[in-house]
Amino acid sequence: MEVDAAGAGAGDGGRGGGDRSSFVIGLIENRAKEVGVAAFDLRSASLHLSQYIETSCSYHNTKTLLHFYDPMIVIVPPNKTAADGMVGVSELVGKHLPANKKGAVMVKNLSARDPSALGLDTYCKQYYLCLAAASATIKWIESEKGVIITNHSLSVTFNGSFDHMNIDSTSVQTLEIIDPLHTELWGTSTKKKSLFQMLKTTKTTGGSRLLRANLLQPLKEIQTINTRLDCLDELMSNEELFFGLTQGLRKFPKESDKVLCHFCFKPKKVTDEVLKPANGRKSQMLISDIIVLKTALDAIPFLSKVLKGAKSFLLCNIYQTICENPKYASMRKRIGDIIDEDVVHSRAPFVACTQQCFAIKAGIDGLLDVARRSFCDTSEAIHNLATKYREDFKLPNLKIPYKNRLGFYFVIPQKDITERLPNKFIQVVRHGKNVHCSSLELASLNVRNRSAAAECFLRTELCLEGLINEIREDIGILTLLAEVLCLLDMLVNSFAFTISTKPVDRYTRPEFTGRHPILESLHNDFVPNNLFLSEASNMVLVMGPNMSGKSTYLQQICLIVILAQIGCYVPAQFASLRVVDRIFTRIGTGDNVENNSSTFMTEMKETAFIMQNVSSRSLIVVDELGRATSSSDGLAIAWSCCEYLLSTKAYTVFATHMEGLSELATLYPNVKILHFEVDLRNHRLDFKFRLKDGVRKVPRYGLLLAKVAGLPNSVIDTATSITSRITEQEMVRMDSNSEQYRSLQMAYQVAQRLICLKHSNQGEDYIREALQNLKDGYLAGRLT
């Protein structure tokens, strides 16, 4: 069965125009809830295979994967209730070989990498489901798209989605990674931007897609992250290199990555009688691809000149594999033997059409030269006709633009038409301040002109057949060039450009120290705040009134971790982190009417998903857990969830209004309490948006807001008396616990700071001073 995921809402990638999805996905599940996924990207000619156990009854992992790929088509096996005639995986893979065997053979033949490097013998047994899905997906593409995939042309990755940080689809939405939850900032007309929209200054569609993929699945391998950061260091310190690369990338056509991968697909042979009009269009696209390839190869020498003195490993590697690879020069020479030297890629429709007609050097094909003369004669006749109409009908501003689907047509400003247009003009349509129209003479010339152009395209394709076959023999270097251009576009035009537009001290390079992460002075547009998390202090409880900045702070932490793990600088004065394998969020929700789920049930389902999938290297961010039920049950659930998360060694940032949770810090030394500073001025709350140590210090802000809202004084007085008694009892209990465990907590804090100093990269004088301060604080009985 195939599903049109674009219409079914399989993902909301926030795309439009050239950013539309190009993924076709095959999806298979067995009875043990093991899922095999094959995702084929038609744009980049790449195949991504994943197989995993679906741990969530609501298919959370599969939803996340679909959200990541945002496929245009999903192919699934037919089920018992499916309609008759529905094409499923079992029909597509065929009867002659088992699905996984057929998939393994296909992948082995089509992969650009050496089959032994893929380990297909192992994968065939272990990942049989995704190989079966691959077989079905490839069969569907070849059948529906009318192409044959060139051998040894695909970039194949196994288990790709789980070699990266995993961010579930709910977290993608709540963290506003791709799309903002609200399009406008509250109280202003300023448009709110997501992280993707903020960084989307890429110049190519491929670079934009790579950026999106990195944000949804950040890296986990420290070496790759640091390689990107080293490259970014060099770009930030070497202006000549940065501007040189910016200029060099502009020389490559925007469609380069897409066009370079087109050569992986070979059209199936069809007879001239079947699809002759369509063949003309396909021929035109093929010629356009060759011109784009020529323009891209012409841009490599300038790129080579810019990269020659680069020092970072990534840029040096690009220089060696692209700029010093003789195969590119050899391919450019072979193209130069057939394609005219003056032909360039153009986005203007008629200029592009003319370039395509004259792409082949004169004298190679006699019939092509005849068709070109006819094309030139009709083009000249059309422009002469426009000149004649300007003079005969006194229309000096008459223009004659060209569109691929319409051909030539007239555009006349409304102001030049005094009464009405002469009867010669037909198909008159108003467009704003202009009138669009044609004439019988122009329509006749258009038919002859387009016929001559179509003949040029068909003859040109015949001349290019041998050249294209030679190009397909070296298809690997084109897919490599496409990948490099997308990566450079993301690093230079997105990361480096964004950082260069900010103040010098606003962004910094993150460090990955492995054990003891610390983020200091996280910058936003208002007030910087700090965060410290380590294995010895792996939970932070953040307290404070509504609107004090808790939710923004939680979101900010996650976004900085994501930025760091895609290899970008982060908005902080200093950042030292450990690599995170998954990010879980439980931030604000409402009733889910569609799934018949209350606010509390939705909250519990999301929390259950976290508990079932959390690991020791996860980052969990929770905002107001348990507020949608009774206060006693909510506190009990929040407390028990905190205790469970403390036992996992995962890093947890927990925002809450529940003062009872602060008692956790008296029982567990690895819990730290923070609060957002708020002052009382004239019985109103003055938010400072500044994080401070300890429990929230705002006395009875709920009662204060209730009084401002107009509740009777007698009600406020009674509530004040009740909360005073409750608070007094809680303080007595907390003081008792604090005194009982004080010595243990002091020892724990000393050990924690000693471990941090052991792994610190600070100088000897700094460490000596820190040790002395630690000693003095311990003897005085207060560690700050």
Is the pLDDT score of 674 beyond 80?
Answer: yes
> What's this model's pTM, rounded to 2 decimal places?
0.79
**Among 90-99, 407-416, 525-534, 736-745, the least confident range:** 90-99
pLDDT tens sequence across 718-735: 877 777 777 766 666 666
Q: Residue 97 and residue 111: Cα distance in Å, rounded?
A: 20
**Residue 430 neighbours by CB under 8 Å, 6+ apart:** 414, 436
pLDDT value for 1: 39
Name the fold adopted by 508-590+598-698.
Rossmann fold (3.40.50)
Q: How confident is the model at residue 400 (pLDDT cuts 50, 70, 90)?
A: very high
pLDDT value for 236: 94
Of 109, 154, 113, which Cα lies nearest the Cα of 263?
154
* Cβ atoms within 10 Å, residue 499: 20
pLDDT value for 537: 81
pLDDT value for 339: 93
Q: How confident is the model at residue 711 (pLDDT cuts 50, 70, 90)?
A: confident
pLDDT value for 77: 83
pLDDT value for 506: 83
Domains 23-162 and 195-342+473-501 share a fold: no
**Length of the chain counted residue by residue:** 784
The answer as to CATH 1.10.1420.10 being correct for domain 351-460 is: yes
Question: Contact 477/325 with Cβ under 8 angstroms?
Answer: yes
Q: At residue 340, what are phi and psi to the nearest 5 degrees?
A: -60, 140
Of 318, 319, 263, 327, which Cα lies nearest the Cα of 297?
327
Is the pLDDT score of 14 beyond 60?
Answer: no
pLDDT value for 319: 95
Tell me how far CA of residue 382 lies from CA of 259, 378, 394, 587, in angstroms.
Answer: 32, 6, 18, 63
- Once rounded to an integer, what is the mean pLDDT over residues 51-74? 81
**Among 142-156, 231-245, 298-312, 519-533, the least confident range:** 519-533
200: left (phi over 0), alpha (psi -120 to 50) or beta: beta
pLDDT tens sequence across 587-619: 865 444 444 456 778 788 888 888 888 888 899
**Among 261-270, 343-352, 356-365, 427-436, the least confident range:** 261-270
Residue ranges per structural domain of the chain:
23-162, 195-342+473-501, 351-460, 508-590+598-698, 720-783
How high is the mean pLDDT of the chain?
A: 80
pLDDT value for 689: 64
Q: How confident is the model at residue 12 (pLDDT cuts 50, 70, 90)?
A: very low
pLDDT tens sequence across 434-483: 999 999 999 999 999 999 999 999 999 999 988 998 998 888 899 899 99
pLDDT tens sequence across 323-354: 999 999 999 999 999 999 999 888 899 999 99
pLDDT tens sequence across 16-33: 444 667 899 999 888 777
C-alpha Rg value of the chain to the nearest Å: 32
DSSP state of 361: P
pLDDT value for 229: 96
Q: What DSSP line would sit under 10-43, residue for residue?
A: S------GGG---EEEEEEE-TTSEEEEEEEETT
- Three state DSSP letters for 367-405: HHHHHHHHHHHHHHHHHHHHHHHHHHCCCCCCECCEECC
Please state which CATH class domain 23-162 belongs to: alpha beta
pLDDT tens sequence across 209-239: 899 989 988 999 899 999 999 999 999 999 9
Of 184, 185, 215, 176, which Cα lies nearest the Cα of 526?
185
pLDDT value for 376: 96
- Once rounded to an integer, what is the mean pLDDT over residues 369-379? 95
Q: Residue 1 and residue 748: Cα distance in Å, rounded?
A: 59
pLDDT tens sequence across 503-552: 877 888 998 864 334 444 444 444 667 777 777 788 988 887 666 677 88
- Once rounded to an integer, what is the mean pLDDT over residues 48-68? 80
pLDDT value for 90: 44
Is the pLDDT score of 697 beyond 60?
Answer: no
Q: Residue 322 and residue 258: Cα distance in Å, rounded?
A: 18
* Cβ atoms within 10 Å, residue 481: 24
pLDDT value for 660: 79
Q: How confident is the model at residue 300 (pLDDT cuts 50, 70, 90)?
A: very high
pLDDT value for 569: 94
pLDDT tens sequence across 244-258: 999 999 999 988 888
Helix (H, G, I), strand (E, B) or coil at 221: coil
Helix (H, G, I), strand (E, B) or coil at 597: strand
pLDDT value for 159: 65
Is the pLDDT score of 764 beyond 90?
Answer: no
pLDDT top residue among 704 and 73 = 73
Name the fold adopted by 195-342+473-501.
MutS, DNA mismatch repair protein; Chain A, domain 3 (1.10.1420)
Q: How confident is the model at residue 287 (pLDDT cuts 50, 70, 90)?
A: very high
**Cα 543 from chain centre:** 32
